[in-house]
Copies of this chain bind each other. A is one copy, B any other.
Amino acid sequence: MKICVLGGDGYCGWATALYLSQRGHQVAIVDNFARRLWDHELGVQTLTPIRSMPERLRSWRRISGEDIEFLSGDITEYDFLSQVMKKVSPDAVVHFAEQRAAPYSMIDRKHAVFTQVNNVVGTLNLLFAMREFRPDCHLVKLGTMGEYGTPNIDIEEGYLTVEHNGRKDVVPFPKQPGSFYHLSKVHDSHNIMFACKIWGLRATDLNQGVVYGTMTDESALEEDLINRFDYDEIFGTVLNRFCAQAAVGHPLTVYGKGGQTRGYLDIRDTVRCVELACLNPARSGECRVYNQFTEQFSVLELAHLVQAAGRNMNLNVEINHLPDPRVEAEEHYYNARHSKLVELGLKPHLLSESLLDSLLNIAIRYSERIDPSLFLPKVNWRSAHNDRRQKSAAAGSSYEGPLEASAVSAGGNGHFVKE
């Protein structure tokens, strides 16, 4: 298939582009390097030394013999996106091209507005470009399990059958997202569902869980193909961050009680799920929703798993309970269905000791690139303005240090609690 990967320079996007290319699909990456820009803005960097896009593509061509086309630009610019749709004529568009970090969206008003406008306008543009230039193309959109929040009922895959006052209907599953970022994905979901209805477009909304891991079969082929590994409080997903912390002897930063339970998946399953969605397109007018994760864990369970894996490698791993900088239930019911991708053929890579070993080894290998000041949460959901600007070098320090824990206190005493 001809597949366009929007946001193909990012964490999930790069891994997906390589996988799809290796599987024989004709891949075109579209990216504006926004993710690399945010690293500069925040004074952070991926643990792994990712290469520039030209280097990445040259290496992939040398190793695989496959060409991946690259188009540099921003999908919030409609003229650019129109050109992409006309030039590539894709059978499927995989849409990762959004600001995807909850803490980034909660920094302040500007970051909240940027996140929602960027994500909503990019997706609206894509819907219009499909309608205008490629109405049979299948949209594979990355949503998030975070759209559902943590209701006290089982979470279904996108739709819920409701019986109410003796009548029955199937309705979109109610959404209770937990950040301005998660809200942007909810806005997208509603927009996509509507566009499918009025224009007969085809869409699959992949409500993805928290992704962990960095290596896929493809990115492991050569260091030039290495994928991102974010460990900072803004972009670092929790398991990757815990492994980086364990590698340098920093206590694992568990927010609150750590009972926050979410769906998780290995990045090797991300890429496979995306291909499965592409190979089994939605019907015209259909907006399918798949919950894309393989296992549920609480944050504290993950911390204990990393602690145990570290022990086997002679790492002394402590767990710290910090005041939760987010507004979320620290203990709650959570049971989300995730059978549709398995029915399509997904064979999950469950979280194993060997995967944790490999993650810890990667973190140890690149540990000189770790800045521990980036581990502690500085973005507090309860504050409308969190200072995340780098201090100027002239002021004596290149980066601001971590805030005191009290800066993220939810009214508690602000002290770390060791377990």
Residues of A within 8 A of B (CB): 78, 109, 112-113, 116-117, 120-121, 124-125, 128, 131-132, 151-154, 160, 162-165, 167-169, 171-180, 183, 186-187, 190-191, 193-194, 197-199, 327, 333, 381-382, 384-385
Residues of B within 8 A of A198 (CB): 327, 381-382
16 A-B pairs besides A179-B194, A183-B191 with CB distance below 8 A are A112-B128, A116-B120, A116-B121, A131-B384, A152-B167, A152-B169, A153-B162, A153-B163, A153-B165, A153-B169, A154-B164, A162-B174, A171-B174, A177-B194, A183-B190, A197-B327
Q: Known contacts being A160-B174, A385-B132, is A169 close to B190, with CB within 8 Å?
A: no
Q: Is the CB of A194 within 8 A of B190?
A: no
This chain: how many copies in the complex?
2
Q: What residues of chain B lie closer than 8 Å to A190, measured between beta carbons?
A: 175, 177, 183, 186-187
User: Complex formed: what's the CA distance from A109 to B169 in Å?
Assistant: 32
Known contacts: A128-B109, A169-B151, A176-B172. The answer to whether A187 contacts B327 by CB under 8 A is no
**How far does the alpha carbon of A173 sit from the alpha carbon of B173 in the complex, in Å?**
9
Complex: chain B residue closest to A156, CB-CB? B164
Give the distance to chain B from A235, nearest Cβ to Cβ, in Å. 21
> Residues of B contacting A162 with CB < 8 Å?
153, 160, 162, 174
In the complex, A190 Cα to B124 Cα: how many Å? 18
- Asked, given contacts A153-B164, A187-B120, whether A113 binds B131 with beta carbons under 8 Å apart, the answer is no
Report chain B residues within 8 Å CB of A174. Answer: 160, 162, 171-174
Which B residues are in CB contact (< 8 Å) with A179? 194
Distance in Å from the Cβ of A256 to the closest Cβ of chain B? 15
- List 28 A–B pairs whose Cβ atoms lie within 8 Å, in order of A's numbering: A112-B124, A113-B124, A116-B191, A117-B117, A117-B120, A120-B120, A124-B180, A131-B384, A151-B169, A152-B167, A153-B162, A153-B163, A153-B167, A154-B164, A154-B167, A160-B162, A163-B163, A171-B174, A175-B190, A176-B193, A177-B190, A179-B194, A180-B191, A180-B194, A187-B190, A197-B327, A198-B327, A198-B382
| Interface pair B154/A165, CB less than 8 Å apart | yes
- Give the chain B neighbours of A131 by CB distance below 8 A: 384
CA A76 to CA B124, docked complex, whole Å: 20
Which of A131, A153, A163 has most chain B Cβ within 10 Å? A153
User: Min CB distance, A257 to chain B, in Å?
Assistant: 19
* CB atoms of B109 and A116 under 8 A apart: no
Cβ of A197: which chain B residues have Cβ within 8 Å of it?
327
Shortest Cβ-Cβ A-B pairs, 6 listed: A171-B174, A152-B169, A109-B128, A153-B164, A131-B384, A198-B327
Complex formed: what's the CA distance from A186 to B154 in Å?
A: 23
Across the interface, name the chain B residue whose C-beta is closest to A173: B174
A154's nearest neighbour on chain B, judged by CB, is B165
The chain B residue with its CB closest to the CB of A182 is: B194
Residue in chain B with minimal CB distance to A108: B128
For A113, the chain B residues whose CB sits under 8 A away are 121, 124-125
List B contacts of A199 (CB < 8 A).
382, 384
Question: Nearest chain-B residue to A155 (Cβ)?
Answer: B164
Could you say which residues of chain B place their CB within 8 Å of the CB of A183?
187, 190-191, 194
Which chain B residues lie closer than 8 Å to A173 at the CB level?
Answer: 174
- List B contacts of A381 (CB < 8 A): 198
Expressed in whole angstroms, the minimum distance between the Cβ of A85 and any Cβ of chain B is 13
| Cβ distance A19 to chain B, nearest Cβ, rounded Å | 32
- Whether B152 contacts A168 by the Cβ 8 Å rule is yes
User: Once the chains are docked, how many angstroms separate the CA of A151 from the CA of B172?
Assistant: 10
C-alpha gap A168/B194 in the complex (Å): 28
| A327 cross-chain contacts in B, Cβ below 8 A | 197-198
* A330 to B196 alpha-carbon distance, docked (Å): 19
Task: Give the residue name and chain of the B residue nearest to A151 (CB).
Answer: B169
Smallest Cβ distance from A387 to chain B, in angstroms?
A: 14
Evaluate contact between B78 and A128: CB separation under 8 angstroms. no
